[in-house]
Amino acid sequence: MASPHDDLLQVLSAYMSPILARSVLSRSLRRCGLTPGTLERTELRRVAQALETGSRLFVDPGKLAQLQEQLRRLSDPAEDIRPVDLPIHDEDDIGEARRASWSLCDQMGADRFARQKLTTIVSELARNLVHYAREGRLQIRIEPEAKRAYVTSTDSGPGIPNLEEIMSGRYRSKTGLGAGLRGIKRLSLKFDIDTKESGTRVEAEVQL
Ligand SMILES: Nc1ncnc2c1ncn2[C@@H]1O[C@H](COP(=O)(O)OP(=O)(O)OP(=O)(O)O)[C@@H](O)[C@H]1O
Ligand SMILES: [Mg+2]
């Protein structure tokens, strides 16, 4: 697991250049009487408060609240990130699912790559629900300590009779690129599909 110092640096670096992030962080640490080597997780709250003041001048004012929220999360990891459970019927719901994914990544302080990865998975699953099952549910659960997201899509649609063909890459879709499910599998740590005539359940575990 990354050190508290690295966690803080990672969060700050999303809002300013890495060099500036280092300098802002070391100044705030000094103000708390600490060094990168002596920073313990228990002191994160104090340092996060110093950083809220110390970073104010360097961060886009429109993004300051988001940075402060992330710093607070880091110093209080016990606070759970609430899971999301969304009914998916139409294009608006797909947008809603994408926003929910984005917001969970914000709360986690996930980097841009992880954000993109989770949002792609969520978005592909939601699109499949609307296009092929007409409707379904999408759930996203986060385990902050493990930095994992668990995405589950469930529907009572017609199922996927040619799943093997699809996953082997031999399938040519009439409606899309036919790369959605394979793409999701590639981006996931674990990926599982259970499909029958009465519906489909897809589970993806994602590293953030
Ligand atoms: N939830 C679902 N219920 C029923 N059929 C599905 C479902 N999800 C996918 N499918 C079927 O599996 C096929 C492959 O899905 P996949 O997402 O991999 O590709 P696609 O949707 O065809 O194209 P792309 O996602 O690349 O735009 C779809 O064409 C569809 O026939
Ligand atoms: Mg698809």
Q: What is the CATH number of the domain that holds 128?
A: 3.30.565.10
Same domain? For 66 and 116 the reply is: no
Q: Could you list the residue range(s) of the whole structural domain that residue 30 is in?
A: 4-75
pLDDT score of 178 = 64
The region of weakest confidence among 90-104, 106-120, 184-198 is: 106-120
Same domain? For 57 and 92 the reply is: no
Give the whole-angstrom CA distance, residue 167 versus residue 182: 6
Higher pLDDT, 154 or 174: 154
Ligand nearest to the CA of 182: 1
- Residues 36-93 have pLDDT tens digits of 888 888 888 899 989 988 899 999 999 998 898 888 878 876 567 889 999 999 999 9
Same domain? For 64 and 92 the reply is: no
Ligand nearest to the CA of 183: 1
pLDDT score of 159 = 98
The residue out of 29, 44, 75 marking a domain boundary is: 75
Distance 26 CA to ligand 2 centre (A): 46
Nearest to 140, CA basis, from 130, 150, 128, 155? 150
Q: What total of structural domains would you count in the chain?
A: 2
Distance 123 CA to ligand 2 centre (A): 9
180 pocket-lining for ligand 1 (C-beta < 6 Å): yes
Same domain? For 62 and 95 the reply is: no
Same domain? For 150 and 127 the reply is: yes
**Which SS3 state, helix, strand or coil, does residue 17 take?**
coil
pLDDT score of 76 = 74
